[in-house]
Structure 1
Amino acid sequence: MPHLHLVIGPVGAGKSTFARQLSREHRAVRLTLDAWMARLFGRDERPVVGRLEWYVERRDRCLEQIWELTKELVDVGTNVVLEIGLIQRSERERFYAQVDEMGYGLTVYVLDAPRELRWERVQRRNEEKGNTFSMEVPPYFFELASNMWEPPDEDECFERDVRFTRGREV
């Protein structure tokens, strides 16, 4: 039976590198929200006022389409690795309800690292624009997203197959 692998964690925790590795290990298609956002909306002008609302509306549209593609892939027997944000518990709860409704198997991988290390990684990624780069992460967005991060609590871990793992150290 095909399986879903959800990779979560704050910005700069090593999710993209880990998701690539996971994709190879499980012969899975990797779907990454940042890549979709960058490709579809990266060249668009962002509003000065209402920037967060602008982002959330587009993020939600991408997540809907990613979920439709995920269902098609799983239904034809393909494992899927999802790196789609879900940094808050309420977002994950909505996702879990969709997974449960479809009867899919799911493993959640949690990556984290100290905030200072994550910021160093983000700055380096912004400068180098290497294979895990999809869009520039400015300091205000790093801070906003870092402050919004809610790691899985005891209840979430009890209800799901949640695995805490280490990203790369540097």
Structure 2
Amino acid sequence: MHTASTHTAPRIHLVIGPVGAGKSTFVRHLVQQHRAVPLNLDDWMATLFSPDRPDTADVMAWYVPRALRCLTQIWKSAEAVLNAGSDVVLEVGLIQQHQRDAFYARMGPWADTMVVYVLDAPRDVRRERVLRRNAEQGETFSMVVPPHIFELASDLWQPPGDVECAERTVVFVPMAER
């Protein structure tokens, strides 16, 4: 006798926003709420590459290819978790539209199971959070974000536009919920 399952299909919870917006704190809530597996690009980068990070002005030329390799492996891990029947929470950067478009294109059948959570805050609030996180190195700390990198990443941030919101399930998370 076949009975209907109450279990829903595994989902991707993609959390995006600029540096210092509260993503890591929000991710912890999502992980608990959905009993999901978190996959965080900064954690991978810190573990695999921080000891080798150059102290040069052009750290982005060093960072980008390593981040792309990590993203490839994170996606493979995410697919394995999804195929095993569990949700994943991805905190993997994707601050620019073209990066998200490329990510969405590689998701295949999982694209329909995704919820995109957008977190943002005023730049001065985010800057203060990052300075405090750098100093305290508490639970959500993975690596020091120097002021020039904070400013660069903040300048690159592109929130989802009308087309992305129309094509995806996008939730803008109010600051009070993080």
Normalised to the residue count of structure 1, the TM-score between the two structures is: 0.95
- Residue number in structure 2 paired with 1:10: 18
Q: What pairs with 1:35-50 in structure 2 (closer than 5 Å)? A: 35-46=43-54, 48=56, 50=58
Report Cα offsets for 1:31-61 as digits up to 9, x if no partner. Answer: 0000000000111141626421110011001
Q: What pairs with 1:5-154 in structure 2 (closer than 5 Å)? A: 5-46=13-54, 48=56, 50-102=58-110, 104-154=112-162
Q: Point out 4+ residue stretches in structure 1 off by more than 3 angstroms.
A: 100-104, 167-170
Offset, 1:144 = 0.3
Change (3 A) 1:31 1:118: same
CA contact (8 A) 2:104 2:111 kept: no
Q: Which of 1 and 2 has greater Rg? A: 2
Query: Cα RMSD (Å) of the superposition?
Result: 1.6
SS in 2 for 1:18: helix
Q: Matches of 2:132 and 2:55 in 1, distance apart?
A: 27
Q: Matches of 1:12 and 1:103 in 2, distance apart?
A: 27
CA contact (8 A) 2:27 2:89 kept: yes
Q: Which structure 2 residue ranges, 5 or more long, are not aligned?
A: 1-8
Q: Which structure 1 residue ranges, 5 or more long, are not aligned?
A: none
SS in 1 for 2:30: helix
- Residue number in structure 1 paired with 2:170: 162
Q: Matches of 1:33 and 1:168 in 2, distance apart?
A: 25
**Which has a greater percent of strand?**
1
Q: Matches of 2:57 and 2:134 in 1, distance apart?
A: 24
Q: Matches of 1:151 and 1:115 in 2, distance apart?
A: 14
Change (3 A) 1:141 1:103: closer
